[in-house]
Every structure is written in structure tokens, then in C-alpha cells.
Structure 1
Amino acid sequence: MRSFRFVLSLLGIGVVALLSMSSAPALAEAAAVRSFQSAVGDYYREEFRAHPILATLVGVHDHDAEVDDLSQEGHALEAARLHKALDAFSAIDPATLSQSDRDDREVLISDINARLLDVDTIRNWRKDPGVYTQSATSAIFALVHRDFAPLADRLRSVIARERQIPAMLANGRANIEHPPLAFVEIAIRNISGSINLLKRGVPAAFASVQDDRLKQDLAAANDAAIAAFESYKSYLEELKPKADGVFALGPELFAKRAAYSEMVDIPPDRLLEIAHAQLDKDKNALSAAAHEIDAPQPVEAVLKQVRAQHPTADALIGTASDDLAGLRAFVQDHRIATIPSDLLPEVEETPEFRRATTAAALDSPGALETHATQAFYYVTPPDTGLSAEKRKEYLEAYFFAGLKMISSHEVWPGHFMQYLARRAHPEWSLARKMAHAYSTTEGWAHYAEQMMVEEGLGNGDPKLKLAQLQMALMRDCRFVAAIELHTKGKSVDDAAEIFMKQCGSPEPEARREAYRGARDPGYMNYTLGKLQILKLREDYRAKRGDKFSLMEFHDRLLGAGLPPIKIIRREMLGEDGPTL
């Protein structure tokens, strides 16, 4: 198994070669490269040591038996570590680096500032009880779901981590103060999935292991972990009536978070103007698409008619799977982007512990994973406890044309293409492999939906255009709701109303979206990132003139990795400029 130490050793190859140069400028440049790469290596070595769960998820398996220190002291150590890393990168003179290293340094500094803002100022570890259940669940799921090592070895790591779950959840009880009601409710909705993972998923995953001692150890550790989760669930229920905290960041923190995380330095009020303008534009386009389908009917009636055409709950996963072959063929035949691999994702139901805020998602291997290369495309089925009427209403969100658009977003040519692009570029620096800007990641996938329809997917079927615009409206509403929830004092109920009235979302979908916005102020980044990519495409077209190729543009964009669009724009156009 390749370890992170092996990755670090790769970083030294270029240094040795550079040091063999005899000129003083070359030696100085080599020293600068070595200093920067050493700082990058130190940062990620410490990062994975401090965050063993992240290490497992990204494919570094030196810490698979460990978990993060979620105590108050652990968060203090985390802040100190990040400040030290920030000082180290800030001390490196960017003028001594290559352009790619300068860009990587800028991305790292911005990302560390964002994380310090979270740890020191926003402090969700003090407000969100779901931080602790999510960490404990991810610690186990990362070991169960990916086949990166022999089953018995992964079982030993599961046992070791499960033995630490009671302490992880105890840290939650000790740390949480004045949580917002929305955070508590989300944690309650998700925790049953975590318990079911331990009750059913873990024993089933390791049923074939023959070592009786390991099975006994698993049974004991699993029982203790389940008991800890059950106790934490009772704690959450007791906490709910007392939840009096505020989830809103406020304008200043919201702006800082966007500037650090996405390198978007635009005031929230201006972002809100952009969001409303895009919402109005897409609503008008949706009305035109609805008119093509059934001119005499109002938009709401046409939407209801189209959304009524959906798979059954039993056929949901199969329908999603069946769409993928046609989407892949369209990408290839229409020269949308180069498909660099024959790998395909597996389509599965969303794990239960993720269902409260997830309609569909791509779960791809981590940036440094070399063994477990399988990606999973998750689709969330309706809750078995829903009434027949609520189940039908829920499934309307997965109407046939809409599900095809969801699959475009998650798989072809959306997130799965981003994963294939990363695999196709082993030469990327460690910092570039680990870069993961929200607006770039989700912006591309959202852009992909629109671009595929523009390029002829569905042969002009207005239902597909309607579905694409309906999804665009959903992301526009996220853009609006995120800003209004976190800077304008809007409640979860207010946000749900935005989704129902402005986007035509069914009530269950609208509430799920509103809850997500309370916990995730960055979910505005879908539309924000798409708009940045559309502007970059037009500016790149203007630069290339007759030489412009959509396929070449997409290949270059995907080939730049997932840093903020500001960085990709600089690398593609050769200069900085406004991203919107």
C-alpha cells in the first residue's frame, strides 16, 4: 500500500534534479522550490495526523485506526497548527516560485484562512451537534465502503475506531453551547442512519471474516458504539427544546468566508442582486419552455404535469443507472470533453446517515487513493415511513427528465468527469491534488447541465429544457436563500417558502433545501461557480477567436484541477480579471 510518506518522497525527485544545476540563480530557484515543497509536505503530513478520518477519505491509510481529537483542547491545537502553517507559507517569497507554485501557495493560504475562520470565529464545533455524529459515522463508513485493503485489516481499524466513538460523542456533549434549532433537527434526522450503519451495515460488511477473535472484538466495540449513538440521540431530543442559538453568520463573516474559501471578494448585497437577476432570467426561460410543452397552461400546471412522470420508488435506482450509458455516449459523440478512462460509477441508494440533506451525490475515491478506485453515484429513495401521498410528492423531484439532468450533474459530464480528470493528471502537485473549491466543484457540475442541453441533449425536447431550468431555479434559490438566511435574518421556514414559491419545489424538497442552507452557507456556490465558468468560457472564446474549441476549453478547465475559478482563470487566460 502506498503511504503518504511515498507521496512525499515523490516531491523530492525534482529537488534533487534542480540542485544538480551549477548556476547560482538555478540553485536559488531550487532552494525556493525545496522550501515550498517542504512546507507543503509538512502541512499535509500534519494535516493527516491531526485528521485521520480525512486521511482515510483522501486515500492516505497511515492513520486508519485513529480518529480526530474533537475535544476543546483538540480544537485549540488545530488552531495553533493552522496558524503555524499560515506563517510558514506566508514567509515564502512568491517571486522566487514558478507560476504554478505561486498559485498553489495562494490557494493554500486562502484555504487555511478559511479554516481558521471556521475554527476560531464561526466555531460550529461549539454550535452543531451533528459535527460529532457526522465525524464518528464517516470514520467507520470510510473503512467499510471502500475496498482499499484486506477485509481483516480494515476490520481491525473499524474496531479501533468504534472503541473511540463514545469519547467522540462525549466531546459533543461537552462542547455544544446554544445550538441553533435547525442544527439539532438535522442531527436528529441523520442519526438513525448512523445507528443503522452500525447495526446492519458494519456486521454485513465483515460477515465473511473467519477470525473468531476479531468478530468478538467487533461485536463488543459495535455494541458500545451503538449504545453511545443511542445515548447521543436521547441527548439531542433533550437538547431540542433548549436550542436557542443563531445559525446566521452575518454579513461580515459571510463575506470573509466567500473571500477565503472561493476567492470571491464581492459584498453579500451585490451577490444577492446577482442571484435575483439570475433567478428572474431562469424563471422567464422556464416560462418559455413550459409554453413549448403546453401553451395554454400556466407554468405551474405544466410543471405538475411533467413532474408527475416519474419512476416508482422501486425503479428509481435502475432508472438513474439506465440513463448513464446514453449520457456518456453523448459526451463522447458530441466532443464535449475527452473521457480519459473506461471507469464507470456504481449506482446505489444514498447511505441512510446522509439522506436528511442529500437528494443525489457522487462519492468518488480520495485524491491520493491508489487502490479503491470505484466511484459511487448515490440517489436518495423516499423514506419508507412516508404516506402514499407524501411518497408520490417526494418522487416528483425525480421526474424522468429531471433525473437525467441530475445524472448529468453527478456523472456525465459532471462530478465523475472531475474525478476522471484528476486520475488522468498524476503530474499535479500535492497541493493541486488536494485543492477542492466548492464553487469550482459544484459550479462545473451545474454548468454541465445547462451546457449539455445547449449542445443538443434530448434533441430539443422541451421537457429536458424544462428540467434543466427547474434545476437551475433550484440552485438560484439556493443562491438567494444562502445569502438571506445568513445575512438578512431569514428563518428556515422563510427559506422553504422561497423554494416553494420561486422554484415550485414540493414541500419535502423545499424543507430539505432550507435546512441545508442553514447549515451550509456555501451552497450558493452552485450558481456562483456556474456563472464564473460561463464568463471564463466567453473570455476564453474571445481570446482564442477562430481557434476556440468547446472540447479544448473543457479539457483545459478540468485539467486545472479544483482550485477557485480565479486561479483557473489566471492559468487559462494568463492574467487576473473579474470572475463575474
Structure 2
Amino acid sequence: MKKTVLAALISCALIGACSQPSEQAQTNSANTTTTSAESASTSQLSATAYGEQFVQELWQMYPQYALYVGFYDYDDQLPINDEARRSAELTWLKQQQQQLATLLATELTDAEQTDLSLLANFVERAIWQIEQFKDWQWDPSGYNVAGGFAQILNGDYKPEVERLRTISKRLANVPAYYQAAKANIKNPAVPQTRLAIQQNQGVSSVLGDELLTKVMASELTDDEKVAFEAALTNAQQAVDSYIEFLQELVPEQQGADPVHRLGEAVYEQKFAYDIQSQLTAKQLYQRALQDQQTIHSKMAELTEQLWPKYFAEQPMPEDTMAATSQMLDQLSLTHADPAQFKDAVEEQIPTLIAFIKEHDLLTLDDDKPLVIRHTPEYMRGYAVASIQAPGPYDAQANTYYNVMPLDGMPTEQAESFLREYNQYLMQVLNIHEAIPGHYTQLVYANKSPSLIKSIMHNGAMIEGWAVFAERMMLEAGYGDFEPELWLMYYKWNLRVVTNTLLDYSIHVLGMEQEQAMDLMVNQAFQQQAEAEGKWRRATLSQVQLTSYYAGFSDIMVLREKAKQRWGDDYSIKRFNETFLGYGNAPVRVIADLMLAK
């Protein structure tokens, strides 16, 4: 139930710093060769032509973003987030804002209206992030060069020797990249600073000895190899200097770090831009409170059903929360060994594929590779598992299912972690992250006839689909309606609800760590290690944790409306494939288009 890496990287790549492992997607203003001032005026462009022009200019303005969707024309550019860059960016964004306002006032088809509305939200959010949110000042974790270099190294879009030449050009900008980062940072948030130190220490896993060995064995000329080694050394020194700079900014660890809280007004603004829901953040929080009680009741019913099987000699506690907790603890004892956790994840994937095909839930593309691996070092410290998917321009490239390695984790912590991701919840995790969750959804997104709907990623739709996939699979009979699996599923679904309660409570209501741990451990039945990790994540991000519940609840409502609208023509396969066919658009946008059919 973790954020997809593609969505995370693109979120970072649009504007400013963020608390995910990626490079900043700002480009030096000198690299921006096409602007709207040089383009045709809006009055001369149709909505379709404007959308095509916008996307072309987008990749020039944000070459890092382009990398993550598989557009490699600007792969040699490493953006530098300096004042001149932000000024050029704002100029371009405000030109687009004016043009979009003009076009949106004209007569448009539904598809054109939704595409341009997505672009307008992107532009307005980007302006807000630079001028008001300003995370490029307070979040040092947004500055990390590893992601783009890894994307090029792992790709096969051109011969290796050419990719190494591209990397050599990018390496030359690494010192300036980190120099700009140092100049930008003002009053950094402590948790984000600690994350930046940890993840930048992992840059060596990409820009290290292995890369140099590859270079020396390559077809580069001797002069190119000398230049590459010098540029790599300078880059490594720049990373080390940035780490030292950050280490001087954080105090010695004594108790909990202060949390960077947004407050209600800023939180609602970010929620509106990121989630694009018909609800406000406060309304979603209130809905989550109601669902929390509903799920508790369902879990109590299943616990009562299972009690004689597991505790025949013990009376069930009158306190239903205590009884549910005891049952969950019992079921959590069966889990993989630490060294085999990734293997256990991998072994389950064929079972999921077979179930979907047998029950005709949706069409799977057998030709899209899924590679399960341990999470790279420069991405660790944030999520247990994640999907790193290619974009629509390079749809045949590998999709990576990143799984956190447990090697080196203290025994007690590893046991707590594995009890959380036991034999039942590991299955739900795989549904969520892989099939038919994130992996499947992003394969469909890359085939969307609307390029704009594919590249303008809405996190609530992406995470909401993955949560919906869990429910859909169990409703279709995955696990043979085993009550143990359903009980664990409701625990997992309760986590979705709790994510929203936690995020809103921390950033708006001022929740402290002790209260957060009570919410997660005592009210959501989470293991201590999972709860501690979620507290860390909630202090490193804002709003994103609400995307799971926001998207899921909206999709469930849409499914019921589709059943009523389509009548006898409704099937779960039709719903799934129609929904996924609209790319990564917000659920409310997809709903308008689906229900018009």
C-alpha cells in the first residue's frame, strides 16, 4: 500500500523539492529553447493542437519529468533549480494559465474539456508550489541526483555507450545542482533533512565504483573515459559536500523531531490540487471517522466467527477490540522468513494472474515485464514496497516492483515487520502493488488514447484503484472467501482509513507521536514497527496518505452508479477496463466520462 514510484517521481519532477527519492525537475533557463511566446497564439490553435504544443514544451521545461515517462530527447540535461530557473518557469506557467483560461471558455468536447482541465490544474498547482508552498526551500530531500542517472543506466532505449556519454554530460552539472540546493535551503524541516542525508548517502549505489567499472570496460574512447572519471569524482564530492552541509543543519537526535505541519488553510489547498476530489479534506476526514466504526464492526463479527476455531478453550473477551486484536495476533504468527520475504512476494504473482484470467476480471498484457527486486539504496527509508513503472513513451521498458530488504534489520524489528506482512497481508500487498493493482493500472494507462490523461498523474486515482483492486479480488472469490483472509483484509482496509485520519490529524489538528501510535496500534491493530514507519512517513509527506481512501471511496461510489446506469450491460470486466482506459485522470473526471456512455 505504498506510493507508486512513478507518481512520486513525477510529483517531485514538476516543481520544487519533495520528500521522495528523485532529482529536481527544474532545468536551467538556458536549456528551455521553446516558449509560448515563440508559439502560435491560442486563438490560432484548437484544443487538440494546444494540448500537443503544451506537451512538447512541457518536456523542454521539465526534462526530468520527461525521463520518467520515457521521453528521452532531453536526457542529457540535469536541471539546476536556481533563481533564474524558477523565474523562467513561472513565466512559462503563467503564459499557459492565460491560454488555458481562454480555451476553456470556448465550446469543447467532453474529452477536450477534461484534458485541458487537467493541464490547468497542473499549471495552477505548479505556480502555487513555487510561490506559496516553497518546499524547494524547506525540504532538502527533494535534491537527489540518483533517480535520473539510474533511469538512464537501467534503460535500453539506446546503446550503452551512448547512454554513458549522456551520463557524462549530466555529471558535469552535478556540482552546480547541489550548489543551488544549498543556496535554496532556508529553515529546513528536520525529518526531511534526515531523509535527505540518508538517501543522498545512497547515491553512491548509482554513482560509484560499479559505474566506473562499466565505463572502463565500455567502448568509450580513452579520452572520454578520463573525462568521465574526472566528472564522476567531482559529482561524488558534490554529493558528499551536500551531505556534510545537511548534517550541520540537524541537531543530535534527542527525542522526536519537530514536525513540519501545514495548518488547515495550506493543507486544504494542497489537498485540492493533489487529490482533485469533490470533497474537502475536512469532509474526507469526517467520512473516514464514520468508516472506521463500520470496519471495526465487521472485524468484530469475523472474530466472533473464528474464535471457536483458534481459541476453543478460552472465552472471547467482552471487549470486541481486545478480542479482534488477539485474533489478529494469532493469525499474524505465520509469515515468511526475513531472508525469503522477496522470494515469497515473487512466488505469489503467478497465482494472482491465474485467478484474474479464470474469473475474467480484466484483460492482462503478458508482454509487459515485471521485475521484482530489492529497493535500491537511494530510494530506501520511505516505503516498504513500491512500483516503478515506465511512461507511455517507453511502455515496453521494465516495471520494477521494489521490496524493502530485511537484511541487517534487528531481529525484533524484523519479526514485527513480518507479523504485519504475514501470509494473508502479503497477498493483499501483492494485489495492491502488482496485479491487478499498480502494475496493471499503469500498463493500461500507457495505452490510453489521451496522452494528457496518461502523463498528468492523479495520485488518488492511482492509489484508489490499487485499494479497489483488493476489494474487487476478494469479492470475486480470491482466497475462497476464507474468513481469516477477510479479517486481515479489513485490517488492511482500516489502514487506508487510518492513513487519512493520521495525515489530517498531524498536519491540521496537531496530533503528536504518542497519539498517532495509539491510533495506529490500538485502534487500527498495526504492529509497532509498521506504526513507527507510518509516523515517519506521515511526517515526511503531506496529503499523499489521504489519496488511498479518497480514490477508493470515489471508485466504490462510481461502481454503484455504473451498475445502475448500465443495467444488464454491466459486468465487472467492463467496469474495470473502461475505468482503466482513461489513464491516470482524477476519479471525478473519469466518472463524468464513463457515466455518459
Distance 1:289 1:207 in 2: 61
1:572 aligns to 2:582 (yes or no): no
- Return the structure number with greater helix share: 1
Q: Residue 142 of structure 2 aligns with which residue?
A: 131
Q: Residue 18 of structure 1 aligns with which residue?
A: none
Q: Residue 415 of structure 2 aligns with which residue?
A: 392
Q: Residue 98 of structure 2 aligns with which residue?
A: 87
Q: Deviations over 1:47-87 (max 9, x none)?
A: 21222211111111111111122113322322222111111
Is 90-99 or 149-158 further displaced after alignment? Answer: 90-99
| Structure 1 residues without counterparts, runs of 5 or longer | 1-30, 576-580
Asked if the contact 1:178–1:245 (Cα under 8 Å) also holds between the matched residues in 2, the reply is no
Q: Which residue, out of 36, 42, 51, partners 1:40?
A: 51
Distance 2:234 2:529 in 1: 34
| Structure 2 residues without counterparts, runs of 5 or longer | 1-41, 317-322
Q: Deviations over 1:206-254 (max 9, x none)?
A: 5752434444333322222222222222222211129998622222222
- Provide TM-score, normalisation by structure 1: 0.87
1:260 aligns to 2:273 (yes or no): yes
Asked if the contact 2:267–2:507 (Cα under 8 Å) also holds between the matched residues in 1, the reply is yes
1:380 aligns to 2:404 (yes or no): yes
1:545 aligns to 2:567 (yes or no): yes
Q: What is the one-letter code of the residue matched to 2:368?
A: L
Q: Deviations over 1:152-209 (max 9, x none)?
A: 1111111222221222122221111112222112223322322333225534665752
Q: Residue 447 of structure 1 aligns with which residue?
A: 468
Asked if the contact 1:443–1:525 (Cα under 8 Å) also holds between the matched residues in 2, the reply is yes
Q: Which residue, out of 292, 298, 313, partners 2:338?
A: 313
Change in Cα spacing, 1:556 to 1:494, as seen in structure 2 (3 Å) is same
Q: What is the one-letter code of the residue matched to 1:234?
A: E
1:57 aligns to 2:78 (yes or no): no
Asked if the contact 1:128–1:184 (Cα under 8 Å) also holds between the matched residues in 2, the reply is yes
Is 557-566 or 181-190 further displaced after alignment? Answer: 181-190
Q: What is the one-letter code of the residue matched to 1:117?
A: W
Q: Which residue, out of 566, 570, 580, partners 1:558?
A: 580
Q: CA deviation at 1:569?
A: 0.5
Distance 2:411 2:426 in 1: 21
Q: Residue 68 of structure 1 aligns with which residue?
A: 79
Q: Deviations over 1:106-135 (max 9, x none)?
A: 1111222122222211110011001112xx
Asked if the contact 2:328–2:488 (Cα under 8 Å) also holds between the matched residues in 1, the reply is no
Asked if the contact 1:557–1:568 (Cα under 8 Å) also holds between the matched residues in 2, the reply is yes
How many residues in Structure 1 have an aligned counterpart in Structure 2?
A: 539
Q: CA deviation at 1:568?
A: 0.5
Change in Cα spacing, 1:423 to 1:282, as seen in structure 2 (3 Å) is same
Q: Which residue, out of 531, 547, 554, partners 1:510?
A: 531
Q: Which residue, out of 209, 221, 224, partners 2:231?
A: 221
1:301-450 maps to which residues of 2 (within 5 A)? 301-369=326-394, 372-382=396-406, 384=408, 386-425=409-448, 428-450=449-471
1:6-17 maps to which residues of 2 (within 5 A)? none
Q: What is the one-letter code of the residue matched to 2:293?
A: D
The CA RMSD measured in Å over matched residues stands at: 2.4
Q: Residue 554 of structure 2 aligns with which residue?
A: 532
Q: Which residue, out of 279, 282, 289, partners 1:269?
A: 282
Q: CA deviation at 1:383?
A: 5.1
Q: CA deviation at 1:263?
A: 2.2
Distance 2:492 2:64 in 1: 33
Q: What is the one-letter code of the residue matched to 1:348?
A: R
Q: Deviations over 1:286-324 (max 9, x none)?
A: 333344444546222222222222212221111111101
Q: SS at 2:498's partner residue? A: helix
Q: Deviations over 1:423-462 (max 9, x none)?
A: 444xx13312212111101000011111111111011222
Change in Cα spacing, 1:245 to 1:120, as seen in structure 2 (3 Å) is farther
Distance 1:494 1:54 in 2: 38
Q: What is the one-letter code of the residue matched to 2:291?
A: Q
Q: Residue 23 of structure 1 aligns with which residue?
A: none
Asked if the contact 1:32–1:96 (Cα under 8 Å) also holds between the matched residues in 2, the reply is no
Distance 1:311 1:242 in 2: 36
Q: Residue 516 of structure 2 aligns with which residue?
A: 495
Asked if the contact 1:492–1:515 (Cα under 8 Å) also holds between the matched residues in 2, the reply is no
Q: CA deviation at 1:349?
A: 0.8
Change in Cα spacing, 1:291 to 1:532, as seen in structure 2 (3 Å) is same
Asked if the contact 1:51–1:67 (Cα under 8 Å) also holds between the matched residues in 2, the reply is no
Asked if the contact 2:264–2:508 (Cα under 8 Å) also holds between the matched residues in 1, the reply is yes
Q: Residue 27 of structure 1 aligns with which residue?
A: none
Asked if the contact 1:300–1:504 (Cα under 8 Å) also holds between the matched residues in 2, the reply is yes
Change in Cα spacing, 1:204 to 1:270, as seen in structure 2 (3 Å) is farther
- Provide TM-score, normalisation by structure 2: 0.85
Q: SS at 1:59's partner residue? A: coil
Asked if the contact 2:277–2:550 (Cα under 8 Å) also holds between the matched residues in 1, the reply is no
Change in Cα spacing, 1:47 to 1:331, as seen in structure 2 (3 Å) is same
Q: SS at 1:241's partner residue? A: coil
Q: SS at 1:315's partner residue? A: helix
Asked if the contact 1:60–1:369 (Cα under 8 Å) also holds between the matched residues in 2, the reply is yes
Asked if the contact 1:188–1:233 (Cα under 8 Å) also holds between the matched residues in 2, the reply is yes
